[in-house]
Amino acid sequence: MNEFVIKSGQKTTDRSKYRLLLWGLLLDAVGMLSFTIPFIGAFSDIIWAPIAGLLLKSMYKGTIGKVGGIVVFFEELLPGTDVIPTFTLAWIYTYLIQSKK
């Protein structure tokens, strides 16, 4: 798991940025898998929500990781919100929106 974590103070290369994006897309897809299994899928979110929160927190250091981890935790627990690509949105915020500031 440490291969996609960018440590604070570490220079971000294009390769590591896009590797983080690919991991985010994969993890968003895993979060949406609960839609494919009727009834059982909703219960899998109870297991996936804390895992997703910890993963997002470890992928993005600082405030974005802490806030994103909380957001993805509740997003996975609330019914019908699995379609929100939280990992991808965290990447967009970090590398497209925040980098312009």
Nearest in space to 68 (alpha carbons), one of 59, 76, 79, 57: 57
Average of pLDDT values for 2-20?
A: 67
Residue pair 46/74 in contact by the 8 Å Cβ criterion: no
> pTM (2 decimals)?
0.82
pLDDT at position 10 is 52
* Interval 30-89: pLDDT, tens: 998 887 877 777 788 899 999 999 999 999 999 999 999 999 999 999 888 888 999 999
